[in-house]
Amino acid sequence: MEALKQVFALSMSTLLVFSPVTTLADNHEEMIDITSDWQGSVFGNNGGQDGINSENFEIKESDSAVTLRSSNDKGKIESNAEGIAYYFKNIPKDANVEMTATAEVSSWTANDQVGFGIMLRNNVLDNENIGDFTGDYIAAGALDQSMKGFYNQNDLDSVVKEGYEFDEANAPAPDEKFELKLEKNGGLYRVSVGDETKVIEDFEGDVEYAGLFTSRNTEVTYSNVSLEVEEQKDIKELQVDSSDMKTEYLVEEELDTKGLRVTAVDENGEEELTSKDYIVTGFDSSDPGTNTMYIHYNGVVEAVDLSINDLSVTDMDVQFLPAKTTYYPGDTFDYEGLTIIGEFNDGYQTRELSSDEYTIVIDGVEIKEGDTLEKPGMKEVTVVSKENSEVAANFQMEVVDAKITGLDIRQDPEKTTYFIDNEIQLDGIVVYAEYSDGNEVRLIRDSYEVSPLDTSTEGEKQIEIAHKGEKAQVNVTVKEKEVTGLEVTNYPQTTYDIDEELNMDGLEVSEVYDNGDRQVLNGNKYEVNDEQYDASSPGVTEISVHPKTESLDPVSFKVTTREAKDQDWHSRIFGQSVGEDTNTVNVNDEGTVDILAEGPSSGKITGDHDGITYYYTEIDAEQDNFELSADIHVNNYAKEPHDGQESFGIMARDAIGEPNETSVFASNVAAVGGYSGGTTAENGTQLFVRTGVESSDGSGSEGIQKTMLDSEKPNSENTYPETGYKLTLAKTNSGYTGKINDGEEKLLYEPEILNVQDDKMYVGFYTARVAHIEVSNIDLNVTAAETDEPKIDPPTEPTEPNMEVLSLEKSSKTNDYEVMLRSNVDGVVNLKQGTEIIAKDNELEAGEITVIEAPLEENESTNFTSVFLPDDTQTLTSYDQIITNFSVTNRTFDGDIYVSPEGTSSGQGTEEDPVDLDTAVNYVNEGQTIIVTDGEYVRESKLEMKKYNDGTEDAMKILKAAPDATPVIDFDKQSEGVVLSGDYWHVEGIDFARSAGNTKGFVIGGDNNIVENSRFYEHGDTGLQISRTDSEEDDKSEWPSNNLVLNSTSFDNRDPSENNADGFAAKLTSGEGNVFRGTIAHNNIDDGWDLYTKVGTGEIGSVLIEDSIAYHNGFLTDGTQGSGDKNGFKLGGEGVNVPHIIRNSIAFDNGAVGFTSNSNPGVIAHNNVSFNNAGGNLDFSTYPDIDEAFELENFVSYQHDYQAEDVYPESLESETNYLYDGSSSVNSSGVELTEEDFTSTNPDLPYKRDVDGDIVWGDFLEFKK
């Protein structure tokens, strides 16, 4: 192995003494194939000794490389153990080491325990599994889905990795390649990925082995492997000469060691070292002063002192003026909104200055915020640097020569009636100051004075508003509070069995006052009249409470008498992922109940639907409330780490699935018990509800609300009977309450959620995913909702106000430019363009977009400042004004805009002087064309056509390849791909390649766009997808609609987990009218097409696919096989009925099904051919409880290599449909197809296209009949 070398710079007397692991056992020969003097072993926590085999692991040398593989969830890197495949050599403990390798990733599953790289460690095993095996090790490579250095020692509780991340390196993913290096120099270690290097000083472990490793689910080929081992020298002295090196630095300046001379002295003489020989630590230029850096070589350290000098301001510029630049005499100075940019050391650094870094001077006098301005006139305002008084910036403001003439209260405060001792409240008041120049100014609360209000006595009074000597009055009334009546403020028992005596324990009656106060009455001040109560028969009785004060009217409440009812309890398992062998209920003789969901595929609790083991009873959803409690022992709950879908406890539902039915089943629920709701969320005892579900397919789901009762994860040691763990779930007229033991009761205000799907409510105990509980001392109390305590409305939570600018900050518009503003609360806004106010006191309504005309200067940048004042009658976290500064840059180009890989933002957009792609996209005008010239456009960031960057129906914005060019926009695995949020764009003739892992190649989130004759390949997720690009947009009418993908191809798309990247998709949040025509999806790791619908998100718009082809999906062009669904056309999801149409299309040689409804009961398929798909040519099926509405006409299904039967309802059999029954393809009349009925069954790949981009179909699968 020429590329695998080992250099030993050792004297013969210290030659390495190897302590190799013992010879490999015969059963590992297939797993480990090494012909060189390197060794290999699979050891540690690898899931059991029987898992150490060639199916799960591989270490295999080739002529110039070695491949290591860890598969099938075997192996790991975790805090207290590791399980790895290791290719290694012995090294002396005290040697210096440098090991390098090129790592090329073939497969990678995104998981925090997956890793690979170079590793030095102190111990190995001979292909042995030990679950808690660990040791001292240090590594450079991949862990936690990123590239980093990391280490562990036996005396540490976790892997040390923070601070050693390589930010410039791509995330590990298939096809990524990394240059790795790990160096040991004395007691220091240097780890490198590419050009990034980190020094690790705190690792103190011994290392005796150097090698390469993989863990968990990854395959990596290492080439250019070099291991250099050098005896650690006995250095007598390290001479450091820094006289020719830069030793003075500015704050945050980078180290420059050019000119540094380092000489090592040992018993043999002197040796001048290069920068590769020694390691530098300690450099830190973040703060001014003396900084000491250290030079390390072979365990000897020398220090060099450096001077870090503070920065000095050399220039200042006013970026944004204060929001207020016009004053009247007597106003106070307010510089809020002022933005000053400081330049330091002649351009070394530029940043925004904070207000404590400068002073403000007017008329030669320093002025501070809140100082009063008296002298009228134009004012030159000077902003002076505190650090360097020689540097300043200036702007103009005006104190208008006009006098105040009066105050105008435009709107009285909401509160004008006060009670004795009330505090003054002016919420809602609107006051304007009027001036002699005819202008008027709205006053904010702090700018005027308010007279005290004496509320100690009754009467008609005034609140006086004063400003600059002018006054105005608000008339108010002060009065004594008065009793207005009685109210039952705590209810006694209100539901009784026949012949049960009335019980008024707990009754509380209060006087109610007109100011909202309540005062509890003593029991001797009222009498309870229960004469109408008849315990012998069912019914509702009114109980009246009569005060002994004659001036007050009686108050009453009702009680219900019912026949006593024994609750029948039942058990049932239903929902996705449950099974009769994994989900069980056992009622024990002593009255306890065992409820089990065993293993990772034993149901789930998701945001939208459930699969559960359920022990329950039924009550009336309309008429009943309840309280259910029990002591619960948790035998087992949730694996480590938890996966976010396990749960147990008490649950109430408005619908349950059929017994043992494993299809998606959704219901509104209220529950208390073990729950997390996500892999990163705390897994404790919570009260949670799911709301909005309208039907069992999950339509309308609004997801889950939750509130934590105890964040400690329940287990066998902290639950009953080891300690108190009594759970209680109750439904009241106000909502659902939950508590543990007698602890704090939490309430979620959702009383109506469980009477949507059914007139019954199902109440009981459940488990899901990994959970086993034993339930004891069950206590259920059912009461009549009609006579229970009335509903209490939830308190209003304060809203944090904000206002956002939606309009584009880069635009080609001039006279027709508009500023778009939206706030989340009501209020008014002023908008200033430059120094001119262009909108004054414009009302903003919460959630609505306000449009303000703001013409721009051509090819200029224009500053805007908005001042938003929230309406103070709302419940908010703050009522302060919100000032927003923003700039809008205009740029226009004549004619077509040319771009090239070498184009710049300052280009003219001509063929001779092109611009870059982003500049063209940001400034292209309606009806204008961007010409993309040939070449590779390698990017580090997404290409975005932002929302509102729109063309029109008659003047689309066009992005197209130059004639005879095939430009490639390559995202280099650095970022997501194209995000098209605008409307009316036409993209044509361009390749889009290589988005980062788990990001899509091209997302269409706007409307009425065309993407034509383009290719999408090697992306880290789906090649092209139509779905919303605004994650907060829940209005389905705003989801992307009427987009056309025409004559385009998507292939070799692969996400890190190899189960999610499709060729094309319109799913989850796509709107109406989207079309794929003349498109080809092949060799994508998941599906060719995915039209998935999620019950919680709701029905998507109908998609049309026509004249399209799906083949070889489920594996890449290089043969790599994925772990995804592998379908050709996947046409739905979760049983939601969406009438997608697919016609004139073919699917062949896909890894699963050619055409699958994926449970969508409404697919319409006309004139399609499906051939030789491994999992079946056709699967049009749905869940048992869903009505089928399939249409299938002129469908030809033919198998050549597989016997998978087509799946479809019998009603789809017809004369025109030839469906495969496992042995032959026949129609409803029994006519059987043979290979002779096709012109050809051998595809000529890849497909070609004609000059217009249309598919050249050839005679493959041409049906003679």
The predicted-structure confidence for 1047-1090, as pLDDT tens digits, reads as follows 999 999 998 878 889 999 999 999 999 999 999 999 999 999 99
Query: What is the domain-level CATH number for residue 1245?
Result: 2.160.20.10
Closest residue by Cα to residue 996 from 940, 945, 946, 936: 940
Note whether 645 and 765 are same-domain residues: yes
Q: How far apart are CA 936 and CA 822, in angstroms?
A: 39
* CB 656, CB 706: distance < 8 Å: no
Q: Identify whether 886 is part of a domain.
A: no
What's the whole-number mean pLDDT along residues 64-79?
92
The stretch 69-80 carries a mean pLDDT of 90
pLDDT confidence bin for 1098, thresholds 50/70/90: confident
Q: Is the pLDDT of residue 732 over 70?
A: yes
219 lies in the same domain as 90: yes
The residue out of 520, 544, 562 marking a domain boundary is: 562
Q: What is the pLDDT of residue 1?
A: 36
Of the candidates 562, 580, 599, which is a domain's last residue?
562
Contacts of 534 (CB under 8 A, 6+ apart): 541, 561
**CA 206, 208, 211, 214: dihedral to nearest 10 degrees?**
-60
pLDDT(406) > 80: yes
* Averaged pLDDT for residues 661-676: 93
Q: Is residue 941 part of a domain?
A: no
Higher per-residue pLDDT: 692 or 554: 554
Q: What is the pLDDT of residues 922-963, one digit of tens each?
A: 999 999 999 999 999 999 999 999 999 999 999 999 999 999
If asked whether residues 1119 and 1008 sit together in one domain, one would say: yes
DSSP string, 474-519: EEEEEE---EEEEEEEE----EEETTPPP--TT-EEEEEETTS-EE
Examine the domain organization and report whether 557 and 601 are in the same domain. no
| The one catalytic residue among 5, 1130, 1248, 1265 | 1130
Q: What is the rounded radius of gyration, in angstroms, for the C-alpha atoms of the chain?
A: 38
Regarding predicted confidence, which is higher, 25 or 825? 825
Is beta strand 248-250 parallel, antiparallel or unpaired with respect to 300-309? parallel
Is residue 764 included in any domain, yes or no? yes
pTM of the shown model:
0.83
Confidence of residue 1265 (pLDDT cuts 50, 70, 90): low
969 domain residue, yes or no: no
Tell me what the pLDDT averaged over the chain comes to.
94
Domain count, the chain: 8
Q: How many CA atoms lie within 13 A of 1110 on its CB side?
A: 39
- DSSP letters along 740-797, please? ETTSPPEEE--TTTTSSS-SEEEEEEEEESSEEEEEEEEEEEEEETTTSPPP-PPPPP
- Find, among 1136, 1036, 1186, the residue nearest to 608 by Cα: 1136
Average pLDDT, integer, range 633-647: 91
Place of tokens 């929902």: 575
Out of 467-476, 691-700, 866-875, least confident range:
691-700
Strands (E), 353-391: 358-362, 365-367, 377-385
Range of the domain at 330: 313-399
Q: Distance (Å, rounded) from C-alpha 332 to C-alpha 673?
A: 58
Is position 898 within any domain? Answer: no
Residues 27 and 81 in one domain: yes
The tens digit of pLDDT for each residue in 472-488 reads: 999 999 999 999 999 99
Same domain, 666 and 540: no
* Residue 257's CATH number: 2.60.40.3630
Last residue of a domain, one of 267, 287, 308: 308
Strands 1080-1082 and 1049-1051: what pairing? parallel
| Helical (H) or strand (E) element with 1065 | strand 1064-1066
pLDDT for res 21: 42
List the CATH number of the domain containing 671.
2.60.120.200
User: Which run of H or E residues covers position 1129?
Assistant: strand 1129-1130
Q: What percent of the chain has pLDDT over 90?
A: 87
Predicted pLDDT of residue 700:
76
Instruction: Compute the average pLDDT of residues 148-165.
Output: 90
Confirm whether 911 is domain-assigned: no
Please indicate, yes or no, if residue 928 is contained in any of the structural domains. no
The answer to whether residues 617 and 736 belong to one domain is yes
Confidence at 27, pLDDT banded by 50, 70, 90: low
Number of other CB atoms surrounding residue 953 within 10 Å = 8
Task: Output the six-digit token pair for 205.
Answer: 């472990």
Over range 911-932, report the average pLDDT.
98
Per-residue pLDDT tens digits for 1145-1184: 999 999 999 999 999 999 999 999 999 999 999 999 998 8
Q: Are residues 226 and 263 in the same domain?
A: no
Shared domain check, 262 and 141 = no
Q: Looking at the structure, tell me whether residues 171 and 40 fall in a common domain.
A: yes
Query: Locate tokens 């179909």: which residue?
Result: 1257
**How much is the pLDDT for 801?**
97
| 93 contact partners, CB below 8 Å, separation of at least 6 | 206, 207, 208
pLDDT digits (tens, 9 = 90+) for 263-284: 999 988 999 999 989 999 999 9
Residues 225 and 245 in one domain: no
Residue 8 has pLDDT above 70, yes or no: no
Q: Answer whether residue 895 is part of any domain.
A: no
Q: Give the type of residue at 889.
A: T
Distance from C-alpha of 677 to C-alpha of 705, rounded to nearest angstrom: 10
Same domain for 10 and 149: yes
Q: Tell me what pLDDT residue 1264 has.
A: 81
> Which CATH number belongs to the domain containing residue 16 in this structure?
2.60.120.560
The Cα 77–Cα 79 span in angstroms is 7
Q: Annotated catalytic, 947?
A: no
pLDDT score of 1194 more than 80: yes
Distance (Å) of CA 1172 to CA 883, 995, 1114, 1123, 1203: 64, 32, 14, 20, 9
* Banded model confidence at residue 655, pLDDT cuts 50, 70, 90: very high
